[in-house]
Structure 1
Amino acid sequence: MKKNTLRTLWLSLTVMLIFCIVVFTGLANYTVTQSDRAIGEVGEIYMDQMGTQVKMHFTTMIELQESRMNGIIWSTPQQSAAEDPEQAWAHLASMASQTGFHFLSLYSAGGACDTIFGEPVEIGDPTSFMDSLAQGELHVTDGTLPSGERLLLLGARAVYPMRSGGTSSILVVGLPMEAITKELSLDIGVTQAYSHIIRRDGSFVLRQADATRDSYFERLLTLGHFDNGTPTEAVAAIQKAISSGEDYSLLVEINGERRNTHFTPLTYSDWYLVSVLPYSLLYEPTYSLVNQSVLSTLLGCGLVLLVLLTLFFFYFRFSKRQMIALAEARAAAEHANRAKSEFLSNMSHDIRTPMNGIVGMTAIASSNINNPEQVRDCLKKITLSSKHLLGLINDVLDMSKIESGKLTLNLDQISLRETMDSIVSIIQPQLKAKQQSFDVFIQDIQSELVCCDGVRLNQILLNLLSNALKFTPSGGRITVTLMQETSPADPHLVRNHFRVKDTGIGMSPEFQQRIFDSFTREDTTRVQKIEGTGLGMAITKYIVDEMGGTIELQSQVDKGTEFHITLDLEAVSDQEADMVLPNWEVLVVDDDAQLCSSAAASLTEIGVHAECALGGPSAISMVERRHQKRRDYHVVLLDWQMPGMDGIETARALRRRVGKDIPILLISAYDWSDIAEEARAAGISGFLSKPLFKSTLFYGLSRFAEPASAKADAAPKLAPDFTGRHLLLAEDSALNWEIARDLLSSYGFALDWAENGRLCVERFQASQADHYDAILMDIRMPVMDGYQAARAIRAMDRPDAREIPIIAMTADAFSEDIRRAMDSGMSAHIAKPIDIRELLRVLQRCLS
């Protein structure tokens, strides 16, 4: 029996060991398979994103080179070139050299070539290249110099005289092909990933690593080994994807090394980017870990059953944790890529909003070029939109601070009137496109000037209005209300209430609880076709919190949404003269009772008695009664868009009854360029833009006061005169020097130019004491940068070197850049692009 028992035990143990080995081996294989699949998907995501990023960088680099090439053409007028060809050729060569090109040539329509700068180049694909350029398309190709050096070529249509006679039709420039490798970082880096660039036939434009053959397809056919199919089938599949302009990925083994390979087309060319990542970088660490786990499992099979079961239990838990970790890693990678794409999409939307204003106002100015007042108004709105666009760019560059919770506020004096004007001008094109009704209400304004971060306030309001525009259908209504009161927290502060209300699709109660979370959008069919990332409201909430304010939300599905922002801001005392008008009788006509009462209250504050009419017929009756009593209104303010009888129809009726003596002004939050001619023909005397701040009403009406008083009120402020002052400008950009010279010389300054920091130091050292009144110092310059130059000047053994104002004038505009400029001995910091008013203010302060 003992032998039977032992035999049974051994048999049981053997069966158990075999069973455990089979089970554990199966689990191990399952783990390897799942790990292989999960990491393979991560590898595909990584390769796709790497190719996309390099492609975007290539597009940006080509567009930058195109802008440099266009700069050469713009700086060499084609009309003057016909008058003095030699000078034009010399200028083209000089500009090509200065902008970093190694080659510039002119081509006629018949194919004749005239090399202006550099050696003659043999174009790789001249027919496709020239045909694309002749059609006005941006296209690049490669070329070869006699020395064998290869160039990246691009061109544009340009008409210049040629040395061989006749005129050119195409201008072509080139830069070394190594620039692509350097700019795009195509070579092997820390990650061991690298890239080739090939033509559609497989020939190399750029090759990296161990690629030695002339054709990438030949390399695959000769050296490649594939898991599925033969090299011929694999190359055929690649060629099919390339001919269709599609992305393509595969796994290939070359010289014993398996490689993830991704193909993606490059814009503005017939080239394809081939991104390569060694297979081992993703798989070897995981395989090593899995192999160790399997080995420990097999060794555990020799232990006692209890130990074996315990090891099995721990191994199962370990495998489960490993799979969870891999899934989390994959989810984190996908979330990071999705977050980056969503953020870029959001910023693209935000940047296009002021760009819409710039493009729209430019078109309006172009169509009204003979109307100086209209052009000035458009230029003002373009300036406001440009400033907001610059603020958004600064936000993109400062994104790391926002993500780490280190966003800083730049407090400065701002005008709420100018802020609201800029908001209105930016969103006008979108309002017009969607035919939405829009109004701005101003109530109980105690101080138009407050201390606040103007860029962040713009960002808050534009984020809210952008959502209102997107989620309100055509024909809907959007309103913005600004109301002030004394702050309960501090009597020295003024509490500002900003309300943005729409009649859009509204939000569900559940989504209202999550709206301020990052990347959150309501997942319903109502918003699936509306672009957005869900990032804007999270940033808005963060900024409001940093400003010490609050944001509240009220919304109902299919009825609309209202955001209420409350900010306590420091009021700035207005240094302008008291705004007082004569004791006029003014009629305000608007179908909105709230706007009428608000405008009447503001008019009362500046000394005017105002009455309200809620429509055209009512206004006509009131004006007629006054006219019959010979007590005409001094001014009539008419809203443009009113139901039944609009402002223009009302103006025609009023003119028929009371003649031309009473000024009639049209008020609206919309751009009136399309109706200006019709309005003036109807008898409109002028226009006022909503929102109707007290200053807006005062300056709009003061020109109708008594001549002497009007002239006194309108007396222009004299611009500062700096005649006799000498400035030394250190700037390596000729264009920036020309801008600074023209702007500052108009105020009396005499300027000298130093092309880099060392020349600036030498010119100052060679000058007589106190010859220069100030130095304007760029930071990023060749030979010696601005920081080094400032320290060198401060170290000179002469009294004026320690006292002369040195003003940093640079595009490095973050707070750490300002601090570094001050630490190097500079007196002030001005950010590019230059605001001439700010520069003059700093110069006046430093020179006083």
Structure 2
Amino acid sequence: MSKPRHADKDSAPTSSGPKQIHHLSNYIFLFLLAVFLIAVYTFLLQKSYSTSTLEANVDQNITCSDAIHKLVSNTFTRDDFTDINTVDNMSSERYQTLQTTLNQIRSLNSTRYLYTAKRNSEGKLIYLVDGLDLDTSDFAYPGTYIEDEMIPYINSALSGKTIYSQEIIDTTWGHIFTACYPVKATDGSNEIIGALCIEMDMESAYTFLSKSSRNSLQIAIAAAIVALLLLVCVYHILQNQRAKDREQQMLLRKSAAAAEAANKAKSAFLFNMSHDIRTPMNAIIGYAELSRNHLHEPDKLSEYLSDIRTCGQKMLSIIDNILEIARIENNQIVLEESICNIEESFDSCIVMFNTAVQEKHQTITVHKQVANPYVYIDSSHLSEIVLNVISNAIKYTGQNGKIDCCLTQKPHEDADWCYMEISIADNGIGMSEEFQAHIFESFSREHSSTISGIEGTGLGMGIVKNLVDLMHGMIEIQSSPGKGSTFTICIPCRTARKEEAEPRKSSSDHPQKTLAGKRILLAEDNDLNAEIAIELLSEEGLLVDRVSNGVACVEKLEKAAPDFYDLILMDIQMPVMNGYDATRKIRQLEDPFRSSIPIIAMTANAFAEDRQKALFVGMNDHVAKPVDMNVLIPVLEKHIRTKKEN
């Protein structure tokens, strides 16, 4: 008999296979984990090395940049940033000197670019002096716009901050380290006049690091296999980032829309202002031509001259509005409260429009309910508010229209205070609801003067709103197209007694001294302006000598007898030497009679900061052009009298 067959031991079913697979998978997992950890560790070491190397290189570049900045920081003057603007300025000796200096400094080390920059009159950042060789392909000429990636750095420098690269910029020329420094005026004002930018070549450092990184790349590839498992997490992170990006894009679109709206408003303003200035200018030219043709007809000539003066006043009003809104936007308006008879101030504003009302056959009525007319208030700015509102009412009301002006004093929570309410109502063209929401914005007009036939810059109501806000008041509008408009202004003010308003009599009061025989030295480069000034001053009995620049003014004063001139009228913008430098020169003269002579700025630079600068350099006072003799004569009397008394 054959032996019964038994199952082979090796063929018996066991659980060793799954266990082996399980162990193998564990080994594979551990192996992959080890590979991943080794790769991560290698990567971190490489990154740490790269970071430390880069940081050391950046620190070296910062030290080098600071040294260059220190070397050239006192090289630049204000004129270097005002006189250099375009390619045409490259021919100047000063530009060539600066360009050569920067090029020599740049060539001493790894500096790739060394240049100066500023913001032009349009608000855009431009290159000025580039330290590259003139024949270099990427040489930046004066006036060339700054590249987008450099704008944040230069903006920071122009705001007064020294800034270094937050990240190394990869350009077509390789990796660049950037440092930007503010350039400050050396005239004592410490004003930021531009920026100095230095860009250092870091390509060699990046080339070395790139080679080093390739050695660890193979290990990093192994980690990429494991990194696939992290894709889900990355996906969620990216989704969140995309949501943030969409939100950021939305904010950017809103900002762009707001900027576009502002640009459109300014463009409309420039269009309206150009038209409104040309209108009186054309009339001035036309009346001047008519005057020349009727020199022997006194009546017509007088009428034409009166019309020329009226047109000139209109142009000056437009310019004054522009200057006023600029002062408001720059927070240069300061309220000067004094005791004022509010009724008299209100009446004087109404009287100023009698001629305009008569020309349009309009009716203007005045109502007043004031228990105590004496209040503390800035009367000049209050008058400006009233004049702007009434002017608009007359302007936008047709022939035979009606205008109601009301002044009402209302009680205040504090017994020593009151509310002054001014209401101006007309039955003119009115305004739509849509425009009422924008009426206080600068440059805003519902219709241009070409369409409406009514001149204006769209600045008046913006000035009114800002002044009312400064006075802690409120302004309301009720209007509809074709039914007229009502403006109601309410301003809180402290009450005063009549006795406080009465001026104290001085025992030393005496008649004003005459200016006849006093000698004036006039520094004025414009022949026409000089001719007008000499004629007007001569009519007051003054003796006038004229020079055409600051150098001639100083020389004339030095050659004359010490007490020969009583006062100097100094223009600011003159050739050879400007009025500021001439004043500094005079104040440094050794002779005390000459160095202390009164100097009055008589200039078209009419901003508050211009007056402050005139006083800062040593001038005694400031009178803006066009000169009003009613303003100039008291100033002359004040300072000539002061000089004699001293």
**TM-score, with length taken from structure 2:** 0.50
**TM-score, with length taken from structure 1:** 0.39
The higher-RCO structure (CA 8 Å, 6+ apart) is 2
